[in-house]
Amino acid sequence: MSEIKSNEVYTTKETRELLKISNSTIKRMLKSGLLRANKIGKQYRIMGHEILRIVSPDLEEKTVEAYQKIKVKAREKTKDW
């Protein structure tokens, strides 16, 4: 099994192979917004962090929490500027 790299850009075929899902399933995920992607011409490109979010929703929650803590600290440090 390949490692999913968060900053890598994947095609729908590569994403299907990584997630082991069918073509119709990935289409449904894209259409419903469950899997976010950018459309380049007629093709979709999916960031690795989106695939990781699908595989591990807990990872996204932890990332958001860490970001919020950093944001609060940054505001505290810069409020007097």
CB count in 10 Å sphere of residue 49: 16
- pLDDT given at position 60: 67
Contact in structure between 55 and 15 (CB atoms under 8 Å): no
Tokens 């997630």 correspond to 19
- pLDDT given at position 61: 74
Rg (CA), the chain: 16
What burial letters (b/e) apply to 3-28, b meaning 16+ CB within 10 Å? ebeeeeebebebbbebbeeeeeebee
- Quick: pLDDT tens for 8-67: 999 999 999 999 999 999 999 999 888 999 999 999 999 999 999 888 877 667 767 777
Residues in a beta bridge with 46: 10
What's the CA gap between 59 and 42, in Å, rounded? 30
Please say if the pLDDT value at position 2 is more than 90: no
